[in-house]
Structure 1
Amino acid sequence: MVPMSPERIVVALTGGPEGEVLLRRAAGIAGRGAGGELHSVYVARPAPGGAPDPPGLARLRALTEELGGTHHALVGADPAQAVLDYARGIDATQVVVGVSRRSRLAAAVRAGVSDRLVADSGDIDVLMVSHPYARGAADAQRPSALSGPRRLGGWALGLAGPVLLTAVLDATRSVPTIQALAYLALTVLVALVGGLWPAVAAALVGSLLLNYFFTPPLHTLSVADLENVVALVLFLVVAVSVASVVDAAARRSVQADLARREADSLSRLNRALLRTRHGVDELLDLVLETFSMTAVTLLRSGPDGTSTRVATRGDRPPLDPRDADVATDAGEPVVLLLRGRTLPPHDLRVLGAFVTHLAVVLDREELAVQAAAADRLEQGNRLRTALLAAVSHDLRTPLAGIKAAVSTLRTPDVRWTADDQGELLAAIEDSADRLGAIIANLLDLSRLQTGGVTLVPDVVGLEDVVSRALSGLAEGDRVQLDLPDDLPAVRVDAGLLDRVVANLVDNALRHTDAGVQVDSGVTDGRAWLRVVDHGPGVRAADRAALFEPFQRLGDAPAGAGVGLGLAVARGLTEAMGGTLTASDTPGGGLTMTVSLPAVPTPRPLLHELVQP
């Protein structure tokens, strides 16, 4: 099989507004195969000092580069021949040119550039692309100032009105001045009702009737007096002029209304884009509302030319461009398929802005997903590094203590006293407790990160929780309790809350040589438990890092653990529907506050309040 050569597309630009349509169509063709090339060419005619570039050429040059193509400026007396010479020089496979904007009369007198490109192209394919600015298209797309029924009524009034007015004027025998003004007033009325051409018809019919019935000699179209000829001509000129002014004003009003609606649509689009972080669905709903469509489908074009459906809205959204009433350019990164009605050119311009914004939103969402994945990867790497450090040091330290104590006890040539043996066994027990606490925190952190925490809620008293938590701490006697007798119960997992309190108290004891205070109370239906120490404290800027796994601040003493206690405490507290916050202790130190929903205390019955 002979490999196909890549597409080399040459776009002939005039600098006019149709250039954007041509470039996007050519980019879509060049992108269908691998290695496609896009070349835009503008030919300037030779002039002394050089001719200035058209105002829109710089924008088209930038668009060419944005689409991955190259722009070339040529000079030649014959633009068609210059474009073909360039195309043959690069072995182009196709030339894209727009349908001529010249009138049919001008094209009949002298062939345009597009026609000569087709005639002289030889073996190079020439694609003539229609656009809103092609000859005859502007008139066909010019918005009508009046509805169909009004235009029909204008024609009826313009043709029948002069006849009826003639009958009235003939019956009343009015003076010539009133007769002319009456026909002029009728012409203005027809212009207001039906627009320019019905008013012109009314002016012509009125001038003929005015001449035939009221200008001497009567009942003939000939005019004997030169003054009457001038009067009839002036009447016709004034009538047509007034009709033209009225029609132009109506059309400008329609154009202003279209511009206002276009500005409103773009304003709503910008507000929607600024208001939402992930606004694809909202933007699609705005498309349906703005253009009065029933359904829309958003497709994303891939580098291989395939399209992926991103989102749909509405009833029976189209899945294929052939099923859609409106389909945006397939050469764009995103494509919209709409069902409901066809759109005029001014609405297509606004729709293009929606397509651009949708592409921006999709890119933003993709970047957000990539950033989140990168953050998760970075966090995972950080956790793995910290875990390796914990395993290599903090887990080995208690193991080394256990091994040293056991080896000492097993020394055969030394006889240990009962006190020495008790001291070594206590050291073994302490190291084993430290090792068990580290392993328990690692397991709890793993369950929290994987969502594997299973709650067994029960109504418990905070004083019971504090008592159980302190009983498992070696230095629990350094804790001062201030717990009121009427403290309400809380509905929590008792075992998990024991771990929370134990971690908080253990952390406080390791950071202060003084005692630790534990108190509690109730505020606004929530029970709180505070663990107060008078150690070095933590700066406000560093408090958020307190609850991160494997975080130990610079003032943490040596051997202070792997930095999991507070992270596990907060995770378990939030899993039970509570909060854990850090604040300064008055006079120095750190206060950790656990807040949990209190169980309402039932009101005593009346017979219980009344003593016999």
Structure 2
Amino acid sequence: MTGKLRVFLGAAPGVGKTYAMLREGRRLRAEGLDVVVGLVETYGRRGTEEQLGDLPVLPRRPVSYRGTELTELDVEALLARRPALALVDELAHTNVPGGRHAKRWQDVRELLDAGIDVATTLNIQHLESLNDVVEQITGVAQRETIPDEVVRAAERIELVDLSPQALRARMAQGEIYAPDRIDVALDHYFRAGNLGALRELALLWLADRVEEELADYRARHGIRAPWETKERIMVALNGAPQGEHLIRRGARTAARVHGDLIGVHVRLDDGTAQREPPGLAAQRTLLRELHGSYVEVSGGDPARALVDFARSESATQILLGPTSRSRLRELVSGSVINRVIRLAGPIDVRVLPPPEPGLLTVPPAPRRRRPALVPVRRRRMAWLFGPVGVAALAWALSPLRGSLGLSGVLLCLLLVVAGTARLGGLLPAAGSTAAGALAADYFYTTPWHSLTVNRGADVAALLVFLAVAGVISHLIDGLTRRSQQAGRARAEAAVLTRLAGETVESGPRVLPDLVAELRQVFGLDAAAVLVRTGALWQPAASAGAEVPLRPDEASFSVDLGDDAVLVLRGAPLNEEDTRLLGPYVTQLKLARERERLAAQASAAEVLAHTDALHTALLEAVGQDLRAPLAAVRQEAERMPGPGGQRVGAEVERMERLVANLLDLSRLRAGVMPVVLRPTVVAEVVRSAAEGVPGVRVDLEPGLPRVLADAGLLERVFADVLAWGAAGSGAVVDAGVVAGRVDVRMTVHEDPAREPAGLAVVRGFVEAMNGELTVEEAPGGGTAYVISLARAVA
């Protein structure tokens, strides 16, 4: 029989995992269970040592490694002792090479296989799946990791939780680390942000495992009804105006119960191409702003698709808006709301009214205008010649009615109706059909030359003529529309291909050319790009006559950003025109961005010329200053007593400042290159601190190398440490923070004067792609923190 594993999981060291494990062991031993401490690391913490109490502790196995005596878990002794429960600390620990197993979790697995229950401890950062995330948060790579499946196989996982503030307080009181490590730990790994992120990781990982176990349990027992372990509010969206009201109501409900918000849109899978409802994009944006998620599902039955998705996601509430279907359509195809209510079962369904009391239903979407097929002149011709033509043809063939008969003349009239449909569209063809039916009745049915029909066969023939003529007209009209759409699609494709090719080959077009082409493509009276300057609008580019001078004077306008608007005047744009306008708007934005960059480049050229003049002036001043400074130094050497030493120190400080200013100007001018190489921080710090009194270097071993110019970095350290030498000393420490190496120099400088050359030092650090921040040190003084990139191994 396999033993059971119990894991005490924590977000960081010091939360009390070992303490909780020992307390549980003492409780079980008091109940009569055979409990043995296989291995526990107390690290000298008084509370943990006291919690050991009277628990029997198994002696550790001594191991010799490279001349050092170490101890490890004695697996053989535990197997021989065979307790009911073994307490084994630090599950992710790496054993000393040459032992029974490489990892402690492998030792524990052997104990479990032998039927011994094990209680152990683990920090969240040691899980293999979270290793890279933890390194990104803390900047520290965890070398000791454990496969997730080992922990997931545990019978019980108990989270030992402690708030970041409480954990930092324990650290500050010396309950976790030795006093000499407290400050560095609080400034680096144990920062409040790091601890909060690690705590969230632990909670999320444990919540995922609990949800997996719950889903597995429901699957094993065939439970399909949702369990309200967590509120999940599902909002059905169809792009209607009331969707935003539904989303906000759902977000408020989810916030009150600490639940999830999900927006769902159903696409019908009936094989037809469907365009996205106009309001759906804005509703997706609102969902993201309110921390909700958006999902699209497809199905032939919207109600069934909504309910199936709600069950799969264990939704507890479905929010629906008022229907936009007419009563006739609901009678024919049924009500989606009623079907959702019938299918939902135990899921709560809420139908919300619109936000305005007067709106009881969602207004139906406006019908799309059918685009004009032919010019107005051709339609007028069709209206004129279609009805007149069929009447004239019926009159011309009336002498042949004895041989043609009613059916024969109706076939001839169909030809005129088809020609009318091709010439002018559906409506003129309908008028021609009606005129043809009346003419055939007048000339070819008895009694002659009247609209009365005596024979039922003639009535049937006329009705068939009306039906066939209507079908033929509709088909010809549809084919003409498809041809028109295909031609427009080819034209759009040609325009888009040309725009893309010009962008790839020659970059963004010039703004006036784009505006002129846009006006020509869409057949507009005028087009312009207006830019706001204060309260006025000025045209940046225009084409055509009577250009709108304000956005409200245009028939159509598009915001281009940065106080710029594209204004158009002319015939209104249809939906296809609006879609084609998008690439032109993008090109206009690129053209304006290119003009802006060109202006910035011109300004940068002027600044570069000015900077060159400044550099030349600075070098000239530096050369002129060196001679007077040398003379002052000679006079200071002749002066007896402290006064001469003080003058000499100030001269040396001034010479260093002038040299730094000159070198900084050379760096910015590109004359003095910065060579970034992997650099050992400790060596550079010690070299800079050599000869500087009152400097204490406290660097951790194994600090990663940084990417820096060693000579330039040494000058930075030397300048900062010199400020401390002028005061009462300096302390240097370093650590890894968020993937970078932060060197912290706490300087107790002379408060009577401000450090000279801080701007120069900052310039040197930025030249090495670093960052210098100045902050007040907790124990007094000023902390200069230099953040540098880690060198890639």
TM over 0.5: no
TM, length-normalised to structure 1:
0.43
The structure with the largest alpha-carbon Rg is 1
TM, length-normalised to structure 2:
0.34
